[in-house]
Amino acid sequence: MSVEERQDLVRRVTARGVSRPELPAGRRRRRFLLVAAIGSLVLVPWIGILAATLPHRYEARHWTLAWVGFDVALVVGLAMTAWMTWRARPALVYPALITATLLVCDAWFDTTTAQRSDVLVSALSALLLELPMAAVLIGAVVLVQRSVVVSMRAGPTDSETVLLRRRWRWARR
The DSSP result for 39-76, as a single string, is: HHHHHHHHHHHHHHHS-S----TTHHHHHHHHHHHHHH
Q: Work out the number of other CB atoms within 10 angstroms of the CB of residue 90.
A: 12
Helix, coil or strand: residue 25: coil
Q: Is the pLDDT of residue 169 over 60?
A: no
CB 144 within 8 A of CB 84: no
**pLDDT, tens only, 45-87:** 999 998 999 888 888 889 899 999 999 999 999 999 999 999 8
| pLDDT reported for residue 20 | 56
Nearest CA among 10, 9, 16 for reference residue 156: 16
Helix, coil or strand: residue 10: helix
Degrees, nearest 5: CA angle 167-171-100: 85
| pLDDT reported for residue 28 | 78
| pLDDT reported for residue 95 | 96
The verdict on pTM exceeding 0.85 is no
| pLDDT reported for residue 18 | 55
Q: What is the dihedral angle through the alpha carbons of 89, 79, 110, 97, rounded to the nearest 10 degrees?
A: 10
What backbone phi and psi angles, to 5 degrees, belong to 16? -85, 0
